[in-house]
Structure 1
């Protein structure tokens, strides 16, 4: 499948063409060029998927293929960095997910971004982001993944800060870049520790052998070196996937164009951390302590983000915290899996696949709504079902899917996650079931506030989005309705062997009942105009205020960075630098200048002076010789 290299090269070519020559093109030509290029990439990705999954299995497993690979840097005989393409079930699945969502975003953007200044630049950045993410998922080794990992961060910085004349967008892009850089530092250190002891960057070598055996008996601060390495690698994944406490960048990333939100928060950047853990899953199985850490971080993040989403009023921020919560579901599923029980692994990848489709649908639907009412606030909406029937139906389908209502895709994947958590711990299963109920509540709170409730006064009558915008909505809605029936376990599992998905009736019935309770409460509170939400907010004013302000995590970061680090540490260091370091250098310069000024007469150029000094020197030397 050497032609799979085109999947990587074409978006890079599109970026260069649009970036260098886009300003000479009309908006229509630039948009069609970028969209056509992505359509070709999508067709190639689907061709790869069909060809790969049609191949005969060996010992019941799909073969791992490396159609392209070449050495880039060599450090030792064993340790070298290669660049290539690795095709296995999860990388092929990710190719399908990324190209599908990216293509829908490209088509949608033709209408949504029409007339925007920088239209050509926008499509160039989309191509760069697609190239970065595709390169990340097909990497043959962990250092190649890290290279594209950083490129994903750079391209997301460009997209989030697309409206660079808007201060909030600039701040959001810097926040996303800086927070993920801190996490990526941990990732890099983890890579260096792992590769130093394993003597390889190669994924096949790391995942098929006992990569951590050479670290046996080696500890640091009471923890094994293997635990440190894999925890630091997870730190990079936690930053990219916005796990607590590194989640703070994601809600502010909403400052970018709404299609960018769909691309970053649905199927691409935020699932990179999940994909990283899945890619190194056999290595993580050798350090169950780190899998437990992933489980606890994911479980807490899922609840935290769901509670915050219940009180947000900006529709894109509700969806942002929803994304954080759903990514946490995937992390929990990976954390509860093991080498012997791979249900959680399959469930995590299944939910990654289904969530990408219905979350992209939700964000693109939100974009159509914002396009119609020119506001992100729910208070400026209400009653839009009469004006936007296509958006209303497709948005409802996505809400039912994420709430876990059958027969929509979210029910099937979330049911598998809940079943995996109950296998691990009854308490954990109940915890995640409660979070699933909160998901149903806040999504239907969002739905009713937008399409039902009290109709806001609009300057212009809201209208349905143009065809280029609602075609992706219809397509993604159809995928959301049908994706749950894909026998996903036949293709993607932790051990490569087929897993026959079956519904755990006790878990499924419980989760559906909890979801229906959440929907019923949202219906009671928000379907018709009333003051019940205000009364509840007043009755629980403390919790409401804390949740609305995201439990003041951002303020804590501000305090730590500005009051402690900047004022308490950086200011004294800056004073020391200016007065001691610079002062010392200035003193040396002053001494040199002063002494030079005093002795400049020694180099006057007058022969008489030189003769006089020579004579005096000779006399002094003669006297010293006579006296001594």
Structure 2
């Protein structure tokens, strides 16, 4: 056990060493040395993480603690930097490290022609990985919030890596600001937890949940249960980080960063932090049924919304980005019905096939000289045979086709939604099945537009070539994960061994039997997602191969609906009118009238009055003795007059 704990601690801290060395010494050591350092640290961290997972798997997980250092000691509050060694932390750590290592390797080829210094890029990647590991290995909410804000900072740096591009800097700021809005709710939730539980340590919170489950809290003159308020606040924080409906607008714009960044943010890391938080706080959510209903509603609606937008996007990366948003909706819907294990299972399988799709898209963009519009591609399968093959695998996994990874995890979620047997869960199941059709449609729309049909630019197509080994090897490894991860992990995550596997890390209340009954849904219900997935692929074939004239004709005949979807339900325009423009107008008033007019104007007016007074006084100094004598005589007359009259 001690060896496993040491491996776990090394896995968490080694990426920080790579980030510090490359970030602070990169200018001196150069790009090549910085790449080597970060890659070596990430490789060793991955070996340690996988070793810790294997050790915990064979000898049993804790939960155990790995104390590293004292952190905060203020009055009666004491927080330490301690790593939590349990199933959820270790599996998340191993997964994040595997994906991050492959993204680091892929970046060697993808960023090889970059004119800007790339040591910063690799340092940011390692810093991002360390922050995510701090988040998933936390033993209390303070350390989790540190990692939470750390991935926000690192994502800002990575999205805005090309700081000379206005679109990239605007996207980085947007991601940072939207996440800060959600993080305010999260921070208030942590504060209320400390007020209610007198601790921020998971063990203390979870142990006290039965005693405080009925504690009241008065808000706006109404009495609520404290655990409902806290759970709601934590979920709003998760909505921002995981780009759920209303707080999702930053995610597609994050595509302005380099493609490896898109894979890292959208696959196993930042956007899944919200799902991890909900799974970690499962003991609290189990006694907050109203919050869980809200979670189901937001997750299911996000799932459908993002799929409708993704099927009309012309940009290859944005189409995959909306797919991420949609799949996260599935995960949150599962959390809402108490199927935390199914949610984390889909999180894990999704990491492999979504990273594969993003990096595959990067290979296409690399071959097409940075072109991202799918309608300007076509006929690339002969030029990029390996990329074509792995994109097939990723799309089949995303569509939930048997036996690929997505089939095992997404179907499990849909079955839990049906088995929950409530009005809200049936709402989520219905939208989930519709989304399964849309997902298959737009994933194969991408395949057909990019790799089949007549090339829109024959000259560009002829110049395309397969990516170097540093990019294709990660694609092959991710493709293998997209095939085998579902069937290999299903017995442990959602199958016969789940109770022992998740013991001590995910909690189901005694009355929550969802993970026991979900496999007993009617056969038609279990089969329907696969049927609609195959139907989505068939419709995409008809639209983009058999009858390529149909999409244009349909877009023209349904013009308002097409524009509504193309403009992402007009959320950006709505937020611009409601928040951005009034805020900008208020800021301009405070700037022009407040700061420049009053704050800066008053001293300026005083200075001007003093200067004018001095100028008038100077004019009195004429140098004439007669004038001075006359002035003195006049003054004397005034003084005497006042004295005699008084």
Q: 1:506 aligns with which of 517, 524, 528?
A: 524
Q: Report the more deviating stretch, 498-507 or 221-230.
A: 498-507
**Shift, 1:573, TM fit:** 7.0
1:84-125 residue CA offsets vs partner (Å, 9 max, x unmatched) = 101111111111110110011011111111131222111111
Match of 1:82 in 2: 80
Q: Which of 546, 555, 569 matches 1:537?
A: 555
Say whether the 8 Å CA contact 2:213–2:227 is kept in structure 1: no
How many Å separate the matches in 2 of 1:176 and 1:38? 26
Corresponding residue for residue 507 of structure 2: 495
1:555 is aligned to: 573
Match of 2:441 in 1: 441
Task: Measure the CA separation in 1 of the matches of 2:163 and 2:242.
Answer: 24
1:420 to 2:438 alignment: no
| Structure 2: gaps (5+ residues) | 618-638
2:17 to 4, 10, 13: 13
**Could you tell me how far apart the structure 2 residues matched to 1:151 and 1:534 are?**
44
Structure 2: distance between partners of 1:369 and 1:429: 35
TM-score when normalising by structure 1: 0.89
2:464 match: 462
Q: What is the aligned partner in structure 1 of residue 248 from structure 2?
A: 247
Residues 356 and 224 (structure 1 numbering): CA distance in 2 closer, same or farther, change over 3 Å? same
Q: Distance between the aligned counterparts of 1:103 and 1:282, measured in 2? A: 33
Counterparts of 2:276 and 2:247, CA distance in 1: 17
Question: Shift of the alpha carbon at 1:196?
Answer: 1.6
SS of equivalent to 1:139:
coil
Kindly indicate whether the alpha-carbon contact (under 8 Å) linking 2:286 and 2:508 is maintained by their aligned counterparts in 1: no
What SS class does the counterpart of residue 186 from structure 2 fall into? helix
Q: What is the distance in 1 between the residues matched to 2:378 and 2:213?
A: 61
Q: Deviations over 1:392-442 (max 9, x none)?
A: 111001101110110001000001100111123333312211111111111
Does residue 73 of the first structure (1) align with residue 72 of the second (2)?
yes
Partner in structure 1 of residue 385 of structure 2? 389
For residues 314 and 609 of structure 2, what CA distance do their matches in structure 1 show?
A: 65
Q: Per the alignment, do residues 75 and 22 of structure 1 end up closer, same or farther by CA in structure 2, a change over 3 Å counting?
A: closer
Q: Where do 5+ consecutive residues of structure 1 fail to align?
A: 57-61, 338-343, 600-619
Q: Secondary structure at the match of 1:150?
A: helix
Q: Mark the CA change 1:376 to 1:561 in structure 2 (over 3 Å): closer, same or farther.
A: same
> Once the 2 structures are TM-superposed, how far is the Cα of residue 224 of structure 1 from its aligned partner?
3.8
In structure 1, the residue matched to 2:303 is: 302
CA distance in structure 2 between the partners assigned to 1:2 and 1:592 by the alignment: 72
Conserved 8 A contact 2:7-2:51: no
User: How far is the alpha carbon of 1:568 from its aligned partner?
Assistant: 4.7
Task: Give the whole-Å Cα distance in 2 for the aligned partners of 1:586 and 1:110.
Answer: 57
Map 1:181-260 to 2 at 5 A: 181-210=180-209, 213=212, 216-221=215-220, 222=222, 223-260=224-261
Instruction: Give the CA deviation at 1:587.
Output: 6.3
Report the TM-score, using the length of structure 2 for normalisation. 0.87
Q: In structure 1, what is the Cα distance between the partners aligned to 2:316 and 2:287?
A: 41
The Cα of 1:454 is off from its aligned counterpart by: 2.1
Count of residues in Structure 1 that have an aligned counterpart in Structure 2: 597
1: distance between equivalents of 2:40 and 2:216? Answer: 55
Instruction: Check the 8 A contact 1:373/1:458 in 2, yes or no.
Output: no
Q: Any residues of structure 2 matched to 1:558-577 within 5 Å, and which?
A: 558-568=576-586, 571=589, 575-577=593-595
Cα 1:156–1:503 shift into 2, 3 Å:
farther
Query: Who is 2:37 aligned against?
Result: 33
Q: SS in structure 2 opposite 1:312?
A: coil
In the alignment, the residues of structure 2 paired with residue 517 and residue 129 of structure 1 have an alpha-carbon distance, to the nearest angstrom, of 39
Distance 1:80 1:551, change over 3 A: same
Whole-Å Cα distance in 2 between the matches of residues 534 and 95 of structure 1? 45
Contact 2:136 2:144 (8 Å CA) reproduced: yes
Whole-angstrom CA distance in 2 between matches of 1:149 and 1:44:
23
The residue aligned with 1:45 is: 49
CA distance in 1, matches of 2:414, 2:406: 12
Cα distance in 2 for partners of 1:70, 1:237 equals: 28
Specify the alignment match of 2:320 in structure 1. 319
1:212-241: per-residue Cα shift (whole Å, max 9, x none)? 718712220234443332222222111111
Partner of 1:174: 173
Q: CA–CA distance in 2 between the matches of 1:225 and 1:587?
A: 54
What pairs with 1:271-420 in structure 2 (closer than 5 Å)? 271-337=272-338, 344-374=339-369, 375-420=371-416
| 1:526 CA displacement | 0.9
Match of 2:112 among 91, 95, 114: 114
Asked if the contact 1:236–1:273 (Cα under 8 Å) also holds between the matched residues in 2, the reply is yes
**How far does residue 9 in structure 1 lie from its aligned partner after superposition?**
2.2
Using the alignment, how far apart are the partners of 2:612 and 2:213 within structure 1? Answer: 62
Q: 2-side partners of 1:152 and 1:389: how far apart?
A: 35
- Conserved? CA contact 1:80–1:200, under 8 Å: no
CA RMSD of aligned residues (A): 2.9
Please give the alpha-carbon distance, in whole angstroms, between the structure 1 residues aligned to 2:191 and 2:609. Answer: 47
8 Å CA contact 1:415–1:507 kept in 2: the answer is: no
1:26 shift after superposition: 4.7
Tell me the equivalent position of 1:608.
Answer: none
Q: After superposition, what is the alpha-carbon deviation per residue over 1:247-295, rounded to whole angstroms, capped at 9, x for unaligned?
A: 1111011011101100011110000111111111111222211111111
SS of alignment partner, residue 209 of structure 1: helix
